[in-house]
Amino acid sequence: MGQRLIRLSGPLYYNLMVRYLTVRRSILSIAILLSSYVSLSFAQPSPIRFVDASGKTLARAEIIERNSGLYLPVQTLREAFDPGMRQQYSSLTKQLTLNLKGKQLQLRIGSLSVSVNSDEMKLLLSHPALMVEEKPMLPLEFFTTLLPKVYDFEVTHDPIIQTIHITERTALLPDLPSTTATEGSAKFPVILDPGHGGVDTGCRGSTRGTEKDIVLNLAKQIEVIARQNEVKVLLTRDADFERRPIERIEIAQKNQGKLFLSLHCNTSFSDLAAGIHLYVSNSLGRAQSDHPPTNPNETAQHSATIHTLSQEEFLIQSRQFATILQTELEPLSPAPIALTEIPLATLAAVYMPAVLIEIGYLSNEVDEARLTDADHLAFIATGIVQAIQTYIAELNQVEDAANGR
**The 338-342 sheet, strands edge to edge:** 233-235, 190-194, 259-266, 354-361, 277-281, 338-342
Domain ranges of the chain: 46-168, 179-402
Tell which CATH architecture fits domain 46-168: 2-Layer Sandwich (3.30)
In 287-373 the beta strands, taken as DSSP E runs, fall at 338-342, 354-361
pLDDT of residue 285: 59
Q: Residue 151 above 60 pLDDT?
A: yes
Q: Residue 149 above 70 pLDDT?
A: yes
**CA 187 to CA 234: how far, in whole Å?**
12
Please return the burial class of 403, using the count of CB atoms within 10 Å of its CB with bins 0-12, 13-18 and 19+.
exposed
What are the counts of helices (DSSP H) followed by strands (DSSP E) for the chain? 13, 18
Task: Name 169's Cβ contacts closer than 8 Å, sequence gap at least 6.
Answer: 152, 153, 154
pLDDT of residue 296: 38
Q: What are phi and psi of 335, to 5 degrees?
A: -135, 155
**Helical residues (DSSP H) of 187-237, grouped into ranges:** 211-228
**CA 349 to CA 221: how far, in whole Å?**
26
Q: What are phi and psi of 308, to 5 degrees?
A: -85, -15
pLDDT of residue 46: 60
**CA 352 to CA 391: how far, in whole Å?**
14
Of the candidates 232, 106, 225, which has an alpha carbon nearest to the alpha carbon of residue 171?
225
**CA 345 to CA 339: how far, in whole Å?**
17
pLDDT of residue 401: 78
Q: Residue 304 above 60 pLDDT?
A: no
166 confidence band (pLDDT: 50, 70, 90): confident
> Which carries the bigger pLDDT value, residue 265 or residue 271?
265
pLDDT of residue 328: 93
b/e per residue 293-318 (b: at least 16 CB within 10 A): eeeeeeeeeeeeeeeebbbbebbebb
pLDDT of residue 152: 80
> Which carries the bigger pLDDT value, residue 84 or residue 285?
84
pLDDT of residue 43: 40
Q: How far is CA 290 from the centre of its chain?
A: 32
**The 130-132 sheet, strands edge to edge:** 130-132, 135-139, 69-73, 57-66, 46-51, 163-168, 153-158
DSSP state of 64: E
**CA 98 to CA 120: how far, in whole Å?**
15
10 confidence band (pLDDT: 50, 70, 90): low
Question: Which value, to the nearest 10 degrees, does the dihedral of the CA atoms of residues 237, 247, 390, 152 take?
Answer: -10
160 confidence band (pLDDT: 50, 70, 90): low
Q: Is this prediction's pTM over 0.95?
A: no
pLDDT of residue 163: 79
Q: Residue 182 above 70 pLDDT?
A: no
Of the candidates 171, 361, 163, 205, which has an alpha carbon nearest to the alpha carbon of residue 274?
361
pLDDT of residue 86: 94
Other Cβ atoms closer than 10 A to 147: 21
**CA 313 to CA 310: how far, in whole Å?**
6
In 67-129 the beta strands, taken as DSSP E runs, fall at 69-73, 86-90, 95-100, 103-108, 113-116, 121-124
**Residue pair 362/372 in contact by the 8 Å Cβ criterion:** no
The string of pLDDT tens digits covering residues 395-404 is: 988 877 777 7
The three-state secondary structure class of 14 is helix
**Residue pair 224/235 in contact by the 8 Å Cβ criterion:** no
pLDDT of residue 75: 92
**CA 355 to CA 278: how far, in whole Å?**
7
**CA 249 to CA 257: how far, in whole Å?**
10
pLDDT of residue 287: 39
Cα three-residue angle 367-368-369, rounded to 5 degrees: 90
**Residue pair 221/377 in contact by the 8 Å Cβ criterion:** yes
**Residue pair 312/211 in contact by the 8 Å Cβ criterion:** no
Which class is domain 179-402?
A: alpha beta
